[in-house]
Amino acid sequence: ILNVEQSPQSLHVQEGDSTNFTCSFPSSNFYALHWYRWETAKSPEALFVMTLNGDEKKKGRISATLNTKEGYSYLYIKGSQPEDSATYLCAHNTGNQFYFGTGTSLTVIP
Partner 1 sequence: KAGVTQTPRYLIKTRGQQVTLSCSPISGHRSVSWYQQTPGQGLQFLFEYFSETQRNKGNFPGRFSGRQFSNSRSEMNVSTLELGDSALYLCASTPWGSSYEQYFGPGTRLTVT
Which C-beta is closer to partner 1: that of 76 or that of 99?
99
Q: Return contacts of 64-69, CB within 8 angstroms, 24+ apart.
A: 64/35, 66/33, 68/27, 68/30, 68/33, 69/27
Residue 44 CB, nearest distance to partner 1 (Å)?
Answer: 4
Q: Identify whether the C-beta of residue 5 lies closer than 8 Å to the C-beta of residue 99.
A: no
Chain positions contacting partner 1, by CB under 8 A: 1, 4, 31-32, 34, 36, 41-46, 49, 51, 89, 91, 93, 95-103
Nearer to partner 1 (CB atom), residue 2 or residue 109: 2
d(CA 80, CA 26): 29
Nearer to partner 1 by Cβ, of 80 and 105: the residue is: 105
